[in-house]
Amino acid sequence: MLSLQSPLDMHLHLREQDMLRTVAPLTAKSFAAAVVMPNLLQPVNSLDKVRAYCSAIKGAISTACEDVVFTPWMTLFFRNYSRAELIAARPEIIGVKLYPAGITTQSEAGVRDFDAIAATVALLEELDIPLLVHGESSGFVMDREAEFLQVYADLIRNFPRLRLVMEHISTAAALEFLDKHEQMAATVTLHHLMLTLDDMAGGLLQPHLFCKPIAKTPRDRDALRRAVLAGHPRLIFGSDSAPHPRHTKECCGCAAGIFSAPVALPMLAQIFDQAGRLEALQAFVRDNGLRFYGITPPDKTVCLQRKPWRVPENYGPVRPFLAGEELQWQLVDAEV
């Protein structure tokens, strides 16, 4: 038996409407809080939209499971904000999420000109609002994360007190960069701890393993895994769980994203357990995030036991990560 105190998913996509109602309760079952991404069809780029989205999330969860403890930590979609806007939003957001334009799902409203963002980034630094970044260039897909490190370097040089999160890192290069810059943290997904490009395209093509950033080389995957298992204090679990209906994955022009919410904690427990590092999991799924963000999560104990179960083929219209596979750990009282 493993008891986790207030486990957190520090990078999560919940979408809207029916999809929100399908997936939000699954995260609420496993986690005490989650950092919710703002890349909806209409980006969450005002305080009003933050409030409306937050209330839709809470509604979706309370309808499904009345007494569950879960807090959505909201983010604003990066644009150039005024000081007044950021001061007003600050109490209700955990950070501002920056997407380069067009780099991933629903990021068309993202940044096109990194020379034009300085004023807003300066405000984030001054107001001590974390900046969460999808860090990919528009270059060759295997090189995008490494190429983007130059943007981080510029941000760090110009804004030395900015709290900066490299989201869902996928390369050894990003990890090395993190180690040189104390002001940064990075989220790491479950799937980037497990997959390489081989899993997606080495045999038959597996669209359900297609994600952005794309899974990289064995060397990259192994470096991430080693650092996470070693208890790197600035690596934070963020699932990047991103649900897409099957018909948008098994088609011509398939969407990027892996839906890992229902398997995240059990599979993490299995990975840490198999490495003999179960005691390091608590820091990865809570302490490292809290230390960086300086935030207090709701009290919640989530228990897992070493008992095999088979991952369902579908949750509503979505095929989950590891569908049909047998995992060695499961949530106690999980209804899957």
# residues contacting a copy of itself (CB under 8 A)? 27
Q: Which residue has the tokens 């900046």?
A: 131
Q: Among residues 48, 115, 128, 240, which one is catalytic?
A: 240
- 197 in contact with a copy of itself (CB under 8 A): yes
Among 176, 250, 279, 325, which residue interacts with a copy of itself (rule: CB under 8 A)?
Answer: 250
The residue behind tokens 């991103």 is 242
Q: What is the contact mask toward a copy of itself in residues 308 to 327, using x (rule: CB under 8 A)?
A: -----------x--------
Smallest distance, Å, CB 326 to a copy of itself?
A: 18
Out of 69, 142, 334, 336, point to the residue binding a copy of itself (CB under 8 A). 142
Q: Least distance (Å) from a copy of itself to the CB of residue 218?
A: 6
Known catalytic residue at 240: yes
DSSP element (H, E) containing 70: none
Q: Taking CB under 8 A as the rule, does residue 204 contact a copy of itself? A: yes
Q: Give the Cα separation of 291 and 108 in Å (integer).
A: 32
Smallest gap from residue 211 Cβ to a copy of itself (A): 10
Q: Are strands 71-77 and 33-36 parallel, antiparallel or unpaired?
A: parallel
Give the whole-angstrom CA distance, residue 152 versus residue 268: 28
126 lies in the binding site for a copy of itself (CB under 8 A): no
Q: How far apart are CA 65 and CA 45, in angstroms?
A: 29
Q: Considering the rule CB under 8 A, would residue 195 count as an interface residue with a copy of itself? A: no
Q: Residues 110, 209, 148, CA angle at the centre, nearest 5°?
A: 35
Give the separation between CA 194 and CA 163, rounded to whole angstroms. Answer: 28
Q: Which of 3, 63, 108, 202 binds a copy of itself (CB under 8 A)?
A: 202
In this structure, are residues 34 and 27 in contact, taking their beta carbons and an 8 Å threshold? yes
Closer Cβ to a copy of itself, 81 or 210, answer by number: 210
Q: What DSSP designation does 67 have? A: T
Between 197 and 290, CB nearer to a copy of itself: 197
How many residues in total does the chain contain? Answer: 336
Q: In angstroms, rounded to a whole number, what is the distance separating the alpha carbons of residues 136 and 20?
A: 27
Sole binder of a copy of itself in the list 118, 147, 207, 327 (CB under 8 A): 207
Residue at 224: amino acid letter: L
200 binds a copy of itself, rule: CB under 8 A: yes
Please list, in sequence order, all residues whose beta carbon lies within 8 angstroms of the beta carbon of residue 19, skipping any fewer than 6 positions away: 243, 245, 316, 317, 318
Q: Does 137 help bind a copy of itself (rule: CB under 8 A)?
A: no
**CA dihedral (315, 188, 167, 91) positive or negative:** positive
If one asks whether residue 41 binds a copy of itself (CB under 8 A), the answer comes out as: no
CB of 148 to a copy of itself, least distance (A): 14
Among 69, 118, 122, 201, binds a copy of itself (CB under 8 A): 201
Nearer to a copy of itself, 205 or 332 (CB): 205
- Give the residue carrying structure tokens 């009003």: 48
Among 55, 251, 296, 332, binds a copy of itself (CB under 8 A): 251
Closer to a copy of itself at the Cβ: 140 or 276?
Answer: 140
CB atoms within 10 A of CB 325: 12
Active site residues: 240
Note the residues at the interface with a copy of itself (CB under 8 A). Answer: 140-142, 196-198, 200-202, 204-208, 210, 214, 217-218, 249-256, 319
